[in-house]
Structure 1
């Protein structure tokens, strides 16, 4: 039986290629490497303290702020999750109202729960033809702020897991005019702004707090991220207080060194001492051109190239006689290419500056080969042997519903905190009920486990999400709609793992909603 280290070493020595995080892609040519065991220390003399940085680490964070054009930057060694939690908790008070893009990561909902916030949800647009959730519309943000004047902060994700970028500049203007703060989960956009091929960072467009995951798209170790603070609207002391509480009291110097080395690479790029991003952009642009030859598989993105991260290769099967799972497994089994994510109608390949030309070529060759096999089988099956005869795309009947990336629309009835508290109390009948609980806890028979198909119309007491991307399809406190039921059932029937539930095929609900 392998232990973890041996299994990792064996995998590293294999020919499996990573089209997934972390962004360094195990490419040792990018950074000088050494054994982590040789440099693993704690807070000793001369090495500063992340929670009270005065020397080495203070200077490193100031360099990061300069590189990212932020007023202030904090190293995150508990991932973007720690930054998102600190940003939300540091800009709201208990019970405040917050406007949240409904396609945000689950950590956003955890922050809402911790501060017992009253969320107002705003939904991204959806491109039915592409099968992609698109951007958050600035006009929708303005409308929500006008209808809910008690909102204190606005939280959106840009870019999304699929690479969709919202109009941050316009949204920031609207948010600030309403006297609110804008927090942007830019975890997947740590590489933004370092080459014109990619969008600019939200730091450049007026966002008050921006979170970047270095490890997702840059050469940095897993768990490394940054929290940027901009302008004077943010109570920086309060945000820092939450960072100190939520990050480990023994931060890893290996991870902090990885962040610093990554920042140094970005500095070299800005000073034009290296051309790593220019070369990377040229390589993936060439790959995109070469993959235009595909007839059945398609590389999709939003129409507006200025608001899309072209490092993400979203490979759609909507017009191919195969499922996304079949494509995912073919790439893994036959070509040893590990994709980042399997979705309803597409597979996601993440590229970064860490990718090699050999790796990109393998992806190109694999997709073209699979596409050619489809073409051959279709012609053979229809008796059309003429290779030059145009074939009409075939759309799978079970892919008619645009489930891939769709965020079902639900009605928020309770806050997350109220729903979770309700469930916890029901699960512990011996707990003393206080007067507040009695308002909505009447008898234990009102909480039930329901099969997905029978859950429509009831208030959810649990989360339901796919991981990745980790954006909840259902959040506690929402009334489950028929649309949400159909999506859950579709994923279940197609063998996707739905997380956040105590049981695989049922969800706990409050039946007296």
Structure 2
């Protein structure tokens, strides 16, 4: 379903401002330094228009950003909306600064991205970790249960907020309505990192988005499943339990002072497209993904996530039963020009968006099916990604550990020591080890498994895992 972006401009003030800039280019004596000249470093800077003295005046006298954010708030049913050019990473950290104070406890799902953990460091918050239920058939997370959160709040009555990541990286959807009910019974807000759910709530075959289900704050990435620039995200909130002034201060404290106007315009354009044509575009993508999923479900011994608690636009495959190595399958797909979001030995994740078509998805399904058959071998035991199995053992607050004096020790000698660094197999970037956590044999085993499965070990000072950074005694 082709669409003309110029037809969106009357409903998208930032997009309109970007198009006006292109139609009547000024001779700027402002940043950025390329001054719109693509003959200097090439088209890499084409379309780069700043917010200040670009989409708006240096004094923001036209108010196009505020108008665009107001329209997004209305679409998602929020009282508060801010656009982010720092991705959901920036948004998560802004919310962490907004909902509690230095030293406060917060309930945190272990399915959350490392950006929230660094937000805890910035805000000085102490996490009370809650773990997701794990499907024994696949080793993948199914969501944090409301009962688990209830028990954590009973044990920690001074906790100021509940932070949940949902849907999970692999596309599984938890009980947000139940979690909201529990959080509100204890008088605290529910914050949902819904980075992968910008499309939720805009088609009857999709789950409702967190604000529709009672969450107080929703962070989402406009660039993951909507057609916005990379790094484009939104913070959306209902402010009954969250102070909008604190949210505003948190966003400003962690945002760049030179936001990319083109990126902001892309959020506005994606919102306008979603509002105008989202249902029709999503309908085609959902149907085409369903056809590919049904085809993959016919492959012998291949496990494909499916059902009402799975995002219809996420294709997550567990390859263990086929014996095929996901790293080898990924190489085939790369050679065919069909890169995937994530692949390790056992799990492969493909992301579908409203930009996909039956044609692109059919090609993907054909190449994927052929590669799995090419690499089929002896079945393996399903272990599941390391991040979902580890039981964190808190020994010090994350902020204290982050700034503590540290040293490197050999990997196998680290058991019993307190971590001074964050180590997360990536993707999805969920910590296996975080600052302030005691290193256990289980931790080391999970990291070994991730490394042997072909996952990139991210954020560690030594990505080979020969050594780990620990707090000095």
TM-score when scaled to structure 2?
Answer: 0.86
Q: Does 1:292 align with 2:297?
A: yes
> Which of these two proteins has the greater Rg computed from alpha carbons?
1
SS at the partner of 2:445?
helix
Query: Which range is displaced more, 100-109 or 292-301?
Result: 292-301
Q: Give yes or no for contact 2:50–2:259 (8 Å, CA) kept in 1.
A: no
User: Once the 2 structures are TM-superposed, how far is the Cα of residue 344 of structure 1 from its aligned partner?
Assistant: 4.8
User: Once the 2 structures are TM-superposed, how far is the Cα of residue 45 of structure 1 from its aligned partner?
Assistant: 8.4
Give distance in 1, aligned partners of 2:386 and 2:398.
Answer: 25
Give distance in 2, aligned partners of 1:53 and 1:85.
Answer: 28
Q: Which residue of 1 is the match for residue 56 of structure 2?
A: 47
1:103-161 Cα shifts (integer Å, max 9, x gaps) = 21111111111122111100111112112122001000000000001100111100111
Q: Which residue of 1 is the match for residue 332 of structure 2?
A: 330
Give distance in 1, aligned partners of 2:454 and 2:60.
Answer: 48
Q: Does 1:281 align with 2:286?
A: yes
Q: Which residue of 2 is the match for residue 387 of structure 1?
A: none
- Pairing 1:323-402 to 2, within 5 Å after superposition: 323-333=325-335, 335-373=336-374, 394-396=378-380, 399-402=381-384
Task: Return closer, same or farther for 1:404/1:283 CA change in 2, 3 Å cut-off.
Answer: farther
Q: Which residue of 2 is the match for residue 191 of structure 1?
A: 199
SS at the partner of 2:277?
helix
SS at the partner of 1:460?
coil
- Pairing 1:141-156 to 2, within 5 Å after superposition: 141-156=149-164
Which of 106, 117, 125 lines up with 2:114 in the alignment? 106
Give distance in 1, aligned partners of 2:206 and 2:362.
Answer: 21
CA RMSD of aligned residues (A): 2.4
Q: Give yes or no for contact 1:296–1:374 (8 Å, CA) kept in 2.
A: no
Task: Return closer, same or farther for 1:405/1:59 CA change in 2, 3 Å cut-off.
Answer: same
Which of 311, 314, 321 lines up with 1:309 in the alignment? 311
Gaps spanning 5+ residues in structure 2: where? 7-18, 23-42
Q: Does 1:73 align with 2:75?
A: no
SS at the partner of 1:507?
strand
User: Once the 2 structures are TM-superposed, how far is the Cα of residue 64 of structure 1 from its aligned partner?
Assistant: 0.7
Q: Which residue of 2 is the match for residue 179 of structure 1?
A: 187
Q: Which residue of 2 is the match for residue 382 of structure 1?
A: none
TM-score when scaled to structure 1?
Answer: 0.80
Give distance in 2, aligned partners of 1:165 and 1:363.
Answer: 24
Q: Which residue of 1 is the match for residue 142 of structure 2?
A: 134
Give distance in 2, aligned partners of 1:267 and 1:53.
Answer: 27
- Pairing 1:418-437 to 2, within 5 Å after superposition: 418-423=400-405, 426=406
Structure with bigger RCO (C-alpha 8 Å, 6+ apart): 1
Which of 242, 247, 262 lines up with 2:270 in the alignment? 262
Q: Give yes or no for contact 2:387–2:432 (8 Å, CA) kept in 1.
A: no
Task: Return closer, same or farther for 1:166/1:120 CA change in 2, 3 Å cut-off.
Answer: same
Q: Which residue of 2 is the match for residue 243 of structure 1?
A: 251
User: Once the 2 structures are TM-superposed, how far is the Cα of residue 374 of structure 1 from its aligned partner?
Assistant: 5.4
Q: Which residue of 1 is the match for residue 29 of structure 2?
A: none
SS at the partner of 2:321?
coil
